């Protein structure tokens, strides 16, 4: 039996075992869940999703699955958490507040308060790592918080939304008028478990995750944190990031050992996305981290990406100047 055939058979067996394990897990763990919150990020809509909400009463419990060790990643977990806590990326609000796009309840660094467990199928036969999309209640409990408090916060959020609507809600956030509903430590615990989920799923998205640089691992984890399952629809990006071995084989055949061109291709798939044009400041930081030389010259990597992104421009019709209005009215009077 040839080596190529052996590799295909091995990959197929791993995929079958992984799929069976994910299905078994989804069918054996019970939990109450709420409706899935839609993502605030634009999707391409050019792929059939490989994820779907689980039937009521089922969830994916994270306790045994997020068995994280510092050696699992090349970057420091605290570094990524500090980036996500920064107001330029997510926000840091200790009370429930509406997502700017969807209006659904968030807290802390964008922790979603009403997500149901989702079964997200691993469709890459070369990647043995399973996706995990737990419910809010699963993550909330894993962070050490009481479920009764979660329901109380959601009830208060619903009342506030009816009273204030999104616009007034956002104004209260900017002026720091919301009464804290969780502590700094509790918000940090929620951020940590959400970050671990993002890292876990980043590994499931990229079959060569362990060979990425520290910055590249962090960039991919940020994308998963920000987009969730909507990253599934960035088809060109996922295809490119999982094609590194083929690119390296071609480079070696041509006598080249540099893989900078490969990562430029990966970056290009994100630079040309609507996400990058809509959220330019955030996108520049993340996309630059995929540069193979980012750790040497981070500012230069960001500058290069920034020059390639053309933000969406909202065109607003200017109101006529008051004097022009008076002149116009006068001419009609004559």
Q: Give residue-wise pLDDT tens across range 197-254.
A: 999 999 999 999 999 999 999 999 999 999 999 999 999 999 999 986 666 555 555 5
Is residue 100 very low, low, confident or very high in pLDDT (cuts 50, 70, 90)? Answer: confident
Q: For the chain, what is the mean pLDDT?
A: 78
pLDDT digits over 307-322, tens only? 999 887 655 555 544 4
In this predicted structure, what is the pLDDT of residue 243? 85
Measure the CA–CA gap between 132 and 129, rounded to whole angstroms: 10
Distances (CA, A) of 260 to 6, 15, 102, 190, 276: 31, 31, 38, 36, 21
More confident residue, 182 or 282: 182
Average pLDDT over residues 49-59: 50
Is residue 53 very low, low, confident or very high in pLDDT (cuts 50, 70, 90)? Answer: low
Q: Do 26 and 54 contact (CB within 8 A), yes or no?
A: yes
In this predicted structure, what is the pLDDT of residue 28? 35
Residue 275 has pLDDT above 80, yes or no: yes
Give this prediction's pTM. 0.75
Q: Do 258 and 248 contact (CB within 8 A), yes or no?
A: no
In the chain, the percentage of residues whose pLDDT exceeds 70 is 68
Residue listed under structure tokens 């980043």: 202
Residue 62 has pLDDT above 50, yes or no: no
In this predicted structure, what is the pLDDT of residue 12? 47
Residue 96 has pLDDT above 80, yes or no: yes
Measure the CA–CA gap between 85 and 97, rounded to whole angstroms: 15
In this predicted structure, what is the pLDDT of residue 163? 95
In this predicted structure, what is the pLDDT of residue 261? 85
Average pLDDT over residues 127-147: 94
Residue 15 has pLDDT above 80, yes or no: no
């Amino acid at each position: 039996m040839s080596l190529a055939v052996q590799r295909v058979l091995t990959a197929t067996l791993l995929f079958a075992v992984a799929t069976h394990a994910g299905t078994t897990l989804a069918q054996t763990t019970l939990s109450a869940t709420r409706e899935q919150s839609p993502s605030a990020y634009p999707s391409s809509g050019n792929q059939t999703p490989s994820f779907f909400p689980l039937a009521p009463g089922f969830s994916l419990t994270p306790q045994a699955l997020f068995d994280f060790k510092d050696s699992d990643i090349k970057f420091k977990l605290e570094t990524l958490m500090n980036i996500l806590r920064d107001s330029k990326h997510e926000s840091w609000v200790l009370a429930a507040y509406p997502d700017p796009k969807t209006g659904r309840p968030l807290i802390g660094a964008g922790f979603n308060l009403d997500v149901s467990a989702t079964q997200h199928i691993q469709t890459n036969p070369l990647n043995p790592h399973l996706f995990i999309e737990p419910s809010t209640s699963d993550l909330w409990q894993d962070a050490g918080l009481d479920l009764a408090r979660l329901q109380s916060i959601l009830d208060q959020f619903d009342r506030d939304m009816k009273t204030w609507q999104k616009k007034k809600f956002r104004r209260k956030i900017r002026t720091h008028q919301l009464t804290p509903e969780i502590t700094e430590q509790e918000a940090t615990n929620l951020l940590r478990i959400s970050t671990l989920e993002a890292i876990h799923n980043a590994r499931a998205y990229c079959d060569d995750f362990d060979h990425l640089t520290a910055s590249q691992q962090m960039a991919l984890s940020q994308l998963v944190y920000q987009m969730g399952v909507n990253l599934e629809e960035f088809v060109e990006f996922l295809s490119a990031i999982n094609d590194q071995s083929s690119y390296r084989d071609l480079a070696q055949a041509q006598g080249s050992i540099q893989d900078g061109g490969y990562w430029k291709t990966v970056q290009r798939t994100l630079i040309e996305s609507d996400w990058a044009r809509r959220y330019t400041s955030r996108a520049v930081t993340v996309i630059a981290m995929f540069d193979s030389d980012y750790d040497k010259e981070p500012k230069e990597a960001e500058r290069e990406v920034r020059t390639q992104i053309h933000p969406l421009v909202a065109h607003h019709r200017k109101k006529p100047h008051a004097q022009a209005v008076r002149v116009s009215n006068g001419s009609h009077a004559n």
